[in-house]
A and B are shown apart, each in its own frame.
Chain A
Amino acid sequence: MTRQPKGPLEGKLNIPQGTLELLILTIVRREPLHGYGIAQRLKSLTQGTFEINPGSLFPALYAMERDGKLRCEERLSDNNRQARYYTLTASGRTQLEREERRWERVTAAIASVLQGA
């Protein structure tokens, strides 16, 4: 992965406002993951459309942990160091389900407008 120059590039988009939490919650629902893993998973799942830089990822992770949506586990990772793995809490799961439903309604609504226009 090489650092790309700033500015809008072909194939890369800004993460829509208010959806970062939904994306993070969805990613850690599958399995507990460390910060780097979350960033990588987001990138690979979107085929590089969404890329999050650590300066935005970590504030979001810490805020979500503070609000009780995520919980941290210290684990010994593959390279034999202690790493913090983020995982969903019960309250995070509830929030995820709520956000998913909301997002489905938003996309459905937008889609029906686009089709009807």
Chain B
Amino acid sequence: MTIFYRIRALVRWLFRRDEIERALDSDLADYIERSAAEKVRAGMTETEARRAARIELGGVEQTKDRVRETLSLGFVETFIADAGYALRTLRRQTTFTVVAVSTLALGLGVNVALFSLFQQLLQRPLPVMEPNRLVNLTDPGPKLVGQASTSSSASGGPDSVFSYPTFRDLERAQQPFVGLAAHRSFEANVVSGQNARLTTGILVSGNYFSVLGLRPALGRLLGPQDDRVDGVPILERSDRVPYVRLPYGGPRVRIRLPPAVSQVRTCLSREFAFLGREATVFRGVQAGTSGAVGRDTQGAATSG
């Protein structure tokens, strides 16, 4: 009850000072009026009575000041007293305090954790050029038996997985988009010297990086020229990193590399060459992976 009144009064004091001032004016004027009337009845003249009443009041402004002072000081004092009382009560009732504080802490912690996850996964724009113009295609239509993709891999459910030929057809026929790029996640062991580790890679189409507008920080990224299906793998040398430009339409692979980047790794029993690294730490359009760009040096299965 008191708490409710305190809060209401605080709000009133903070936001309705005018109202308090008007009340004060009305109260003091009324006091003078009545006091003067009393004095007139006792035999004073009107002016004398008014003057005496004002004097009795101890000065209108001084009285107002004392009221204002009481109201504003009172707040600080009551607040300090209330806070002290609350703290003492909390200290006395240890069990309640522990339960209440841990409940609050747990609740807040869970909320913060969930929100950060939500923000990471859904709210933060992808670190690509114009992420707001990026769309994900799905094909929710009916699937023919035998043709339907039943895969619900890391790349997504059946509706969001397109076959490689379908992707190429779509890419050729599409009008509304600046570009259409394909990607598919896979898991593989990456071997570097004696060490193997399970990691995630993404098979991508040649225009993946140009569609997303990513630039290499080191070496080069896969480009449309890597989509060709002729010739032999060419090993070229840049000043720092050897990279392979493969002239056929094999899978384009993005591999998350261990910290010490070595140039050639084995993946799915095939050799990959390190091509380059993106300028920003880009984790793919699906949350999860990051890192470097590589290619199968021997040619391999096409992506689905």
Tell whether B71 is near chain A: CB-to-CB under 8 Å.
yes
CA distance A79 to B12 in the complex (A): 30
Near A by CB (< 8 A), chain B positions 49-63 give: 52, 55-58, 62-63
Task: Provide the bound-state CA to CA distance between A35 and B56, in Å.
Answer: 13
A53 touching B28 in the complex, CB below 8 Å, given contacts A58-B67, A68-B1, A91-B1: no
Verify A63–B74 contact, CB threshold 8 A. yes
Smallest CB–CB gap between B82 and chain A, Å? 12
Query: Would B63 and A54 count as touching, CB distance under 8 A?
Result: yes
Interface residue tally for chain B (C-beta within 8 Å) = 38
B1-50 residues at the A interface, CB under 8 angstroms: 1-2, 4-6, 8-9, 12-13, 20, 23-24, 26-28, 30-31, 33-35, 37-39, 42
**Residue B70 interfacial (CB < 8 Å):** yes
Our count of residue pairs bridging A and B at CB distance below 8 angstroms stands at: 95
B127 to chain A, nearest CB (A): 55
Q: CA separation between A72 and B27, bound complex, in Å?
A: 11
How far is A84 from B56 in the complex, measured between Cα atoms in Å?
A: 20
Chain B facing A: main interface SS: helix
Determine if B66 is an interface residue (Cβ-Cβ < 8 Å): yes
- Give Cα A79 to B33, complex, Å: 9
CB of A16 within 8 A of chain B?
no
A-B contact pairs, 22 of them (CB 8 A): A34-B27, A34-B30, A36-B35, A37-B34, A54-B57, A54-B63, A55-B58, A56-B66, A59-B70, A59-B71, A60-B70, A67-B2, A67-B6, A67-B78, A79-B33, A79-B37, A81-B33, A82-B26, A83-B26, A84-B23, A90-B1, A91-B5
Given A34-B30, A62-B71, A66-B12, 5 additional A-B pairs, CB 8 A: A34-B31, A66-B9, A67-B6, A77-B30, A81-B33
Which 10 A-B pairs give the minimum distances between C-beta atoms? A68-B5, A59-B70, A36-B34, A55-B58, A66-B9, A83-B30, A36-B31, A54-B57, A59-B66, A62-B67
